[in-house]
A = this chain, B = another copy of it.
Amino acid sequence: MSDERRVRILNATRELLLHYGYDKTTVSDIAQAAGVSKGAIYLHYPSKDALVEALLWHDADRAQQEIARRLQADPNGGSFTSLYVHGLRVAMEMPLLRAIYGNRQRVFGDVFKRLAPNFSNQAIRAAVIEFIRKYQALGLIRADIDAKVVAYMLAYMRYGLLTIEDVIPSDEAPPLDAVLDLLVDVLDRGFAAAGGDTAAGRSAYIAYAENAINTVRSQWESTKVEEEEDHE
C-beta contact mask, A66-92 vs B, less than 8 Å → 1, else 0? Answer: 000000000000000000000000000
CB distance from A129 to the nearest CB of B (A): 11
| Set B156, B173, B182: member contacting A160, Cβ < 8 A | B156
Residues of B within 8 A of A195 (CB): none
Residues of B within 8 A of A173 (CB): 152
| Set B121, B178, B190: member contacting A167, Cβ < 8 A | B121
Closest to A192 in B: B189
- A155: CB under 8 A from chain B? yes
Q: If the complex has contacts A167-B101, A190-B189, A191-B186, are A157 and B155 also in contact, measured as CB distance less than 8 A?
A: no
Closest to A178 in B: B149
Residues of B within 8 A of A160 (CB): 155-161, 163-164
- A153: CB under 8 A from chain B? yes
Q: When the two chains form their complex, are residues A155 and B182 in contact, meaning their CB atoms are under 8 A apart?
A: no
Range class of the A interface residue count? 35 or more
Q: When the two chains form their complex, are residues B155 and A174 in contact, meaning their CB atoms are under 8 A apart?
A: no
CB distance from A124 to the nearest CB of B (A): 11
Q: When the two chains form their complex, are residues A174 and B152 in contact, meaning their CB atoms are under 8 A apart?
A: yes
Q: When the two chains form their complex, are residues A159 and B164 in contact, meaning their CB atoms are under 8 A apart?
A: yes
Q: If the complex has contacts A186-B190, A186-B191, A190-B185, are A156 and B146 also in contact, measured as CB distance less than 8 A?
A: no
Closest to A148 in B: B174
Residues of B within 8 A of A159 (CB): 160, 163-164, 167
- A168: CB under 8 A from chain B? yes
- A183: CB under 8 A from chain B? yes
Interface residues of A (CB under 8 A from B): 101, 121-122, 125, 145-146, 148-150, 152-153, 155-161, 163-164, 167-168, 172-174, 178-179, 181-183, 185-187, 189-191
Given A152-B164, A163-B163, 6 other A-B residues pairs in contact with their CB atoms under 8 A: A149-B178, A152-B168, A156-B160, A156-B164, A186-B189, A187-B190
